[in-house]
Structure formats: structure tokens, C-alpha cells
Amino acid sequence: MITVDVELGDRSYPVLVGRGARHRLAEVAPHGVARAAVVTEAAIAVPVDAGVPQETFFIDGGEEGKRMETVEDLCRRWARFGLTRADVVVAVGGGVVTDTAGFAAAVYHRGVAVVHVPTTLLAQVDAAIGGKTGVNLPEGKNLVGAFWQPSAVLCDTEALETLPPREYRSGLGEVAKCHFLDPRGDLADLPLDEKVARCVAIKAEVVASDEREGGRRAILNYGHTLAHALETAGRYDLRHGEAVGIGLCYAARLAHRLGRVDDDRVKEHDRVVAGYGLPTTLPPGQDFEELLVLMARDKKALRGYTFALDGPHGVEVVRDVARTDVAATLLEVAA
């Protein structure tokens, strides 16, 4: 079992990575909790035992479940259950579950403890770590949310063994992102537990330096500006990690257009993303104008277009990118 600590002072917490990590739930739950509200999807067959009386609350699967109506429904059911601030919410599932249950825990009684048990690679290396919770609006992804750090995260790699190949590959989009945030280089050859732990450690270090995304933390959204636009558009058959793969290749070309990286770095992005079996170009049928509008709504944007972009000092937040450059680079990644 590998333990990675997210260092946030009195809000610090451990992330346990390895086979069977979920069986440590009773050990890491906040001391003295009386009950547990387990939030999951019906299709997720990963049982957990909090060591206290518990009740399971199911939410809709997929992005359809990640909305304000789900948060209200959870809070109302918790109220009928009698959940108090002396209890704990346990989120068991992928990023939709951890994002949604975490947000509901943040606002119910103005904050109830939450432990995440991520069951997808995507959630283990990214979504469940760092305390960013939230849901979507029709106008964009993750536009409503809160920072609410978990009490612990249990990344049970045993749960990944039954993932459908495409779901597992989607998680590799976030692993590919970590390749470009980690000065130690490629993650591809690491054993699974070490790969997950390395990604967690990368995110933990960034979160510890900028918990509430005042600046540096936005680099964790590398590749996500276009990815979120593709997901919000809804016309493309793309999983999150697949969209991130395209977004990474797009961001590399945009950085090249702005003189931040050379041709070799662009080729490295294509090689790494393709090496994980992810797409590197836009799917057919794209609406460039729609994507331009959606990218302008990205939550990093304060004015104009804002991107996390690679450069001589690594990935950095770059603001006020010209619309002409954003649009021209879309043409470069068109299939």
C-alpha cells in the first residue's frame, strides 16, 4: 500500500493507493462518526464497509447525474435519513460520483465530512484528489461547485480490473496530462499502483501550493479548455480522457503558435497521447464557432481566452490569448 499525503495544514489527509485500499475505510473515517451515507451508482458493484450503520444513496450514472437537481435530491434524502455533521458521506464511484457527492457534502449542513473511494482510473488519478467538487450547468461543465477537502481518499486499484477498456483508457488522458506536469518524465512503464500514486503526488504538490486555484493550480486543467468545450457541446462521442487527449495536442499547437514550444515538443504531445490509445485530432462534424464560444466560458477565464500552456518554464496559465490564434489552432487539430 502506498500512502501519499495532501499537505494542507489542519485539512491534510492521506491518499491510500493499492489493491484492497477500500477495506481501510473504517480506519480512515473521521473519529467518532455515528453513521455513513454511501453515495454511488447502481451499476457500480464495489461494496464498502464504514464500520458504522450505513445507508446507500444511488444517483444517476454519467454526466446526466452531475447536476444541481441531484445535489438537492441527495440533501433531501440525507435529511430524511437524519444525517448530521457528526456523520460521514462516502462517495464510491467515478468522477461524477465524487464531484457530485463531494459538492452535496460541502453544502449540506454547511459541510459534512466526506471520504472518496474512486473506482475509475480517471477518478483515482484526478477527480477524487484536491477537494474541487461541483456539477454542470447546461451552459458549461463544473460551473457550480465548492472547495471541500475529503477526510481521506482510498484508491483501490483492484476496482480497476473490471473497468471496460474504453473507461480505463479515458483515465489515461489524465495520466498523459501528468506526463507534461512531471519533470521526472514518462509514466508509461511504471506498475499500476506506482503510476496512480505518482499522478496523485503530482496533483497533491500543486494543490498544497494553491488550494483554491488562485493561480498555479490552474495548470492541472492542462488540455481541459478544449476538452470541456467538446464535452459541453454534446455532439461528440467522447469520454473525458479522450477529450483531454485532443485538448493536450491542441494546447501544444497553440503554445507553438505563440512561440512557447518547438516542433519537437508538439510531436512529444502527439506521441504520448497516441501511445495511450487516445485521439489526437478533433472528431468530424465540429462546429468551430460553438467551440470558440464554449472555450471563452472556461472557469479559468477572467477576460478573453485563458489557457494552461506549455512553455520554457513548464505549463503556465496564459491569459488574453487572441481569438484569431485560438481559431487558427482549431483548424490544425481538425481531423
Find the mean pLDDT for residues 150-159: 97
Backbone angles phi, psi at 318, to 5 degrees: -120, 120
Active site residue: 67, 203, 299, 300, which one?
203
Q: For residues 235 and 8, give the distance between their C-alpha atoms in angstroms, rounded to a whole number.
A: 39
Average pLDDT over residues 117-131: 97
Active site residue 142: no
- The answer on pLDDT for 163 being more than 90 is yes
| Distance from chain centroid for Cα 21 | 20
Q: Which of 213, 231, 242, 316 is catalytic?
A: 213
- Within 10 Å of residue 56's Cβ, how many Cβ atoms? 14
Q: Which residues, in sequence order, are CB contacts of 320 under 8 Å at separation 6+?
A: 303, 304, 305, 306
How large is the average pLDDT for residues 109-138?
96
Q: Mean pLDDT, to the nearest integer, of 85-101?
A: 97
Q: What is the pLDDT of residue 189?
A: 87
> What confidence tens digit (pLDDT) does each residue in 185-235 have?
678 889 999 999 999 999 999 999 999 888 899 999 999 999 999 998 878
10 Å CB burial of residue 129 (0-12, 13-18, 19+) is: buried
The residue from 24, 41, 136, 174 that is catalytic is 174
Q: How is the chain split among helix, strand and coil, in percent rounded to 5?
A: 45, 20, 35
The closest alpha carbon to 89, from 5, 172, 150, 18, belongs to 150
Are the CB atoms for 22 and 74 separated by under 8 Å?
no
| pLDDT of the residue at 335 | 67
Asked about 228 being catalytic, the answer comes back as yes
Alpha-carbon gap, residue 286 to 230, rounded angstroms: 9
Q: Which comes out higher in pLDDT, residue 139 or 239?
A: 239
pLDDT of residue 147: 96
Catalytic residue among 169, 177, 228, 299: 228
213 is catalytic: yes
- Which domains does the chain possess? 2-165 (3.40.50.1970), 216-332 (1.20.1090.10)
Q: Write b or e for each residue in 281-305: b if 16 or more Cβ atoms lie within 10 A of its Cβ, otherwise e.
A: ebbeebeeeebeebbbbbbbbeeeb
Give the model confidence (pLDDT) of 230-250 as tens digits. 998 878 889 999 999 999 999
Distance CA 202, CA 162 (A): 26
User: What per-residue confidence (pLDDT) applies to 302?
Assistant: 61
221 is catalytic: yes
State the pTM of this model.
0.91
One of 22, 66, 116, 132 is an active-site residue; which one? 132
Contact 226, 236 (CB under 8 A): no
Residues above pLDDT 70, as percent of the chain? 98
Interacting residues of 189 by C-beta distance below 8 A, sequence separation 6+: none
Overall average pLDDT of the 259-279 stretch? 97
Q: Which of 31, 80, 110, 184 is catalytic?
A: 110
217 in active site: yes
Does residue 110 have an active-site annotation?
Answer: yes
The catalytic residue among 179, 195, 240, 269 is 240
Burial 63-87 (b: 16+ CB within 10 A, else e): bebbbeebbebbbebbeeeebeeeb
Strands (E) located in the chain: 2-6, 13-18, 36-41, 54-59, 88-93, 113-118, 132-137, 140-147, 152-156, 305-309, 316-321
